[in-house]
Structure 1
Amino acid sequence: MLRKRFWTIALVAGSLPALAQIQPSGVPDTSFTVAGSYQKELKYHPSITLADSTMPASVTVLRNVPYRTINKDRKLLLDIYRKREKQAKAPAILMIHGGGWRSGDRTHNATLARRLADKGFIAITADYRLSTEALYPAAVYDVKAAVRWIKANAAQYGIDPARIAILGFSAGGELAAFTGATNGNKKYDGPDPENAKYPSTVQAVIDIDGTLSFVHPESGEGNDSKSISAGTYWFGYSKAERREIWEEASPLAHVGSSTPPTIFINSSVDRMHAGRTDFIKVLDGHGTYNTIKSFPDAPHTFMFFNPWFEPTLVAIKDFMNKVFPSGKR
């Protein structure tokens, strides 16, 4: 991961310099890969294997579909996995990849997307702007734009627009939880949103080891003592410099009556689900269905590997059938 700081310092006449903000480097960060994580975890879990990425015969994929254009020429893309056979309107799962809001891409979710499509869901993997390109809340705007795109194009792809779930792993889990927690809050649609007549609300959240709070005592994000943290790169300021941004970006700051049913699928790394207990208390207070699937001995990247991949798939399928009971899969 790049460690060099890129500074922009705003000067106010007659005052001290404003806080220095880390600016996007413009250089892609390829530090997080599934293959690299596998090699790392083999040292601690020698029996693990990569989940089978074979495309099921029943599934087809439409790749490189633009869902958003930024500054006229920057296109954000998604891939759509679905059954080859014609089916009635199906629930969709928008899948957001991890990588510390700085690395990774939509192909990281391809194996899970293929298997979810085989179960009858329409799985959509999407890219979004990372912190090397744009700071928070750009990624939030992009994810919500993807939700609106799905609704605008639901009829074309056989999607039921009333049954859309958002799934994310790690940083993507935080973005998924944030998207659900801010249902109906147009502030996070961003300026001049595409497909503005379609709401960016989702009807379910699948949070796979994504933090619920950057400022919770359980959170480990924001420690810049050895190197710049992923969160500091994303927000442009350290937690000490601009704590209010870190708090605002926390799903826990927004959870309420509009937050949809949520499943938390978690590893043994407690800091990756910081704030979960408090988040659930709010959901319970509103009578909103929620459930936890934990893997006590699993590493953070468990969803990519056996023996955890299949039970993760089952947990997602069962949750989707619980919250969208029509036509169980």
Structure 2
Amino acid sequence: MKRFLIVLLLFSKSITAQSQYAIDTSYTVKSTYGKLIKKYPFIKIAQGNKAVNDTQIQNVVYYNDTKRMLHFDAFFNKDKKRNPGVIMIHGGGWRSGNKDQMKVLAQEITSKGYSCFAIEYRLSLEAKYPQGVYDVKNAIKFIKDNAKRFHVDPDKIAVLGCSSGGQMAALIGTTNEDLAFEDVQYKSKSSSKVHAIIDVDGILAFKHPESQEAEMAAFWLKGTYDENPENWKQASALSHANKNTPPILFINSSFDRFHAGRDDMIAILDQNKIYSEVKTIQDSPHSFWFFQPWLEQTVVYTTEFLDRIFK
């Protein structure tokens, strides 16, 4: 009995250690569906199609210290040795959402010949900018370090994000190997460099004529624009676009505010002869990737782009 109590106490401490941060559950597929169904009565929550030889490993620990573990879910074809990889970043205004929201999209893209990784990262209630960016870059390093296990080609890595995750994906791709955006405490033999970006309705600039970012962005960026203009600038992928930016695909809804800065970035890419594509899903809402018929279009646009870049 005494031994049982000791084990129970240790288990309880472990759970407590992993639960000392606040979680915002306001952004879910179900809540988004409830908001959209009246205007779009034809929509259905998308379901993933897992191919016969595809496998999933849940909650792989890529970061672990005494205070926090961070995980990702891996999706890959176990019969293929080296697939291009897709790092997947969920949305939720840098405050809400979770990696499970990328499962359906990950299953669909994996079935087309890719290894996908849905990343957990620290959100703004737990840690402010740039910690979440560090987390995703650390996950990329871990995946490359363990490329054989996850059947991924470390020299063919794309980063894909949706909404605020799209903003992060663009920032991660445009700051390839920029030490100012690296967690110097994280030890790895690999770099966090990515070779393609897929930005699904994520802004490219926080302070821009098209942008309507306010409280959610300010909370993550440690202040309003007037209070902390440097963070608003440095967190904007547009500030870092140059000749070293990898090819990029923009998949956008019908709302201009969710691609603020995109056209300015494309002008920079064109000057440097870097390939880019824009796909607009007409008459679609934000968060369209959760639902059919739009998920299917998102998968087609994504895999056609990835095939062009990697295959």
Query: TM-score, with normalisation over the residues of structure 2?
Result: 0.91
State the shift of 1:98 in Å.
Answer: 0.3
Residue 218 of structure 2 is matched in structure 1 by 232
Corresponding residue pairs, total: 292
Amino acid at match of 1:74: R
Residue 182 of structure 1 is matched in structure 2 by 175
State the shift of 1:245 in Å.
Answer: 1.1
Aligned-partner Cα distance in 1 for 2:178–2:291 = 36
Residues 1:43 and 2:35 are matched in the alignment: no
Percent of residue pairs bearing the same amino acid type: 41
Gaps of 5+ in 2: 1-19
Residue 52 of structure 1 is matched in structure 2 by 47
Residue 69 of structure 2 is matched in structure 1 by 75
Amino acid at match of 1:259: T
Residues 1:198 and 2:190 are matched in the alignment: yes
Residues 1:322 and 2:308 are matched in the alignment: yes
Query: TM-score, with normalisation over the residues of structure 1?
Result: 0.86
Written as runs of structure 1 = structure 2, the 5 A alignment for 1:1-329 is: 26-70=21-65, 72-84=66-78, 86-195=79-188, 197-222=189-214, 229-325=215-311
Aligned-partner Cα distance in 2 for 1:310–1:26 = 35
Contact 2:167 2:237 in 1 (8 A): yes
Aligned-partner Cα distance in 1 for 2:86–2:50 = 18
Structure holding more helix per residue: 2
Structure 1 runs of 4+ aligned residues shifted over 6 Å read none
Aligned-partner Cα distance in 2 for 1:163–1:300 = 29
State the shift of 1:194 in Å.
Answer: 2.8
SS in 2 for 1:291: strand
Aligned-partner Cα distance in 1 for 2:53–2:108 = 10
Contact 1:68 1:194 in 2 (8 A): no
RMSD of aligned alpha carbons: 1.3
SS in 1 for 2:194: coil
State the shift of 1:36 in Å.
Answer: 0.7
State the shift of 1:156 in Å.
Answer: 2.0
SS in 2 for 1:210: coil
State the shift of 1:54 in Å.
Answer: 4.7
State the shift of 1:189 in Å.
Answer: 0.7
Contact 2:60 2:72 in 1 (8 A): yes
Aligned-partner Cα distance in 2 for 1:154–1:26 = 31
Contact 1:60 1:82 in 2 (8 A): yes
Contact 2:75 2:115 in 1 (8 A): yes
SS in 1 for 2:149: helix
Amino acid at match of 1:249: A
Residue 20 of structure 1 is matched in structure 2 by none
Gaps of 5+ in 1: 1-24, 223-228
Aligned-partner Cα distance in 2 for 1:250–1:291 = 19
Aligned-partner Cα distance in 2 for 1:170–1:133 = 19
Aligned-partner Cα distance in 1 for 2:186–2:266 = 31
